[in-house]
Structures are given as structure tokens and as C-alpha cells.
Chain A
């Protein structure tokens, strides 16, 4: 079974620039999550999708972050404009039931 795929793996941008991350969940998984993990901390949920609908985006900084999952499969997370404090690993996870499976993450560095 293929795992959760993410790209790019690494991204370096200047502050105020834009960036987008892509996630392809495990086939058949209805629920998709985007997490932000700052070095030394646990994953922080940014947004949760059930199929193509948003279940929880209470911790998403909506003035600069956006996410979509148009066809209920792949998802993109965008940051515009980026700030220094956005430097982190962005993890995508998917689940078909209780268990969440994580992708390899995208390490974002904002200079």
C-alpha cells in the first residue's frame, strides 16, 4: 500500500513570498489533515478535511494560509505572504478510520 505523498520535500523562500505544498493521501482515505510542526514541538493541526469539506480549520491563520481539497483526494496548502515564524515542517496525514498516517513532510525555511 502506497503511503502519503508530499512535495516538495524542502523549500526555502524569502519572507513575504508565497509557497504551496501538495499532498496525496492514501487511496480511499476520506480524512486529510495538515499539521505544522515547529522544531522541538508536537504536530499542530492546521486544517482537517472530510472528503472535500472542511471539518476543522480553527487553528489555520486564515489571513495568510489557505488550503483546498477540490476533488476529495489531493490537497494543497498555501502560504501568502510568508513570515519568518512560518519556518517549520508541514506534515500531511490521512486516515480511513481512527489511525492517521503521516507523509514525509515539507521543510519550509523562511529567510
Chain B
């Protein structure tokens, strides 16, 4: 079946450093890729998304890049802060169904 692989599963960075989380998808028809942040005990919150007609999208300290040929996309967080500590999930859509395939999550710890 279709799947999304996400790496790394855990990531620790010093405050102020950058963090990069990578995902690879299998369905070449996927055309929408959201990223969710989930703090402990809270709901997943959409932080950024990208469509297949765009190679990169940026929102302040967060950016996402997409390589359709290689079927992978990455989340980049610059100037990390302690409040960035959370679990991050990537997802790829299953076109025509509004269904997502989620990655397995990355636990990011930003050390003060």
C-alpha cells in the first residue's frame, strides 16, 4: 500500500540552531503535503503545507521543500526556540479521496 517514511524519529538541537525533518512518499499522484505540529496532550495543528506545483514555501522561521522527482519533502525550522519542541508529522494526500497517509512522527527537542 501507499506509505510515507519520516526521519529522524527523534531530533535534539540547541536553541538557535536549525532542524530538518525529511519525508519520502510512495504515491507519485500525491499532490498535497501538510505538516502538523503536536504538542504533548494537544491536537495536531497545521503549521505549513505545500502543493506539487511549488518547490518551496516559507512562513517566517518555517519552510518546506518538495522534490517531486525524488518523491521527498522536508521541513526546515530555523532559529529554533524551546517552544518548537513537539512531535511533527508529515503527510501526503491520496488524490481524489481527501485522505492522508501520515508519517510516523519526529520528536523534536530544542535544548535551551
Chain A interface residues toward B at CB < 8 A: 31, 41-43, 45, 48, 50, 55-56, 91, 95, 97-105
Contacts and interface: CB of A to CB of B under 8 A. Distances in A.
Contact of A98 (B42, B43, B93): B93
A45 B99 contact: yes
The main secondary structure of chain B at its interface with chain A is strand
Interface of B: 32, 34, 36, 42-46, 49, 89, 93, 97-100, 102-105
Given A42-B89, A104-B42, A104-B43, A48 B99 contact: yes
B98 A95 contact: yes
B49 A56 contact: no
A42 B36 CA distance: 11
Nearest to A42: B102
Contacts of A55: 97-99
Given A31-B98, A56-B99, A95-B98, A102 B105 contact: no
B32 A42 contact: no
Contacts of B45: 102
The main secondary structure of chain A at its interface with chain B is strand
A105 B42 CA distance: 8
Contacts of A99: 34, 46, 49
Given A43-B44, A43-B89, A97-B98, 5 more contacts: A55-B98, A98-B34, A99-B34, A100-B100, A105-B43
B104 A41 contact: yes
Given A41-B105, A42-B104, A99-B49, A91 B98 contact: no
B43 A91 contact: yes
Contacts of B42: 104
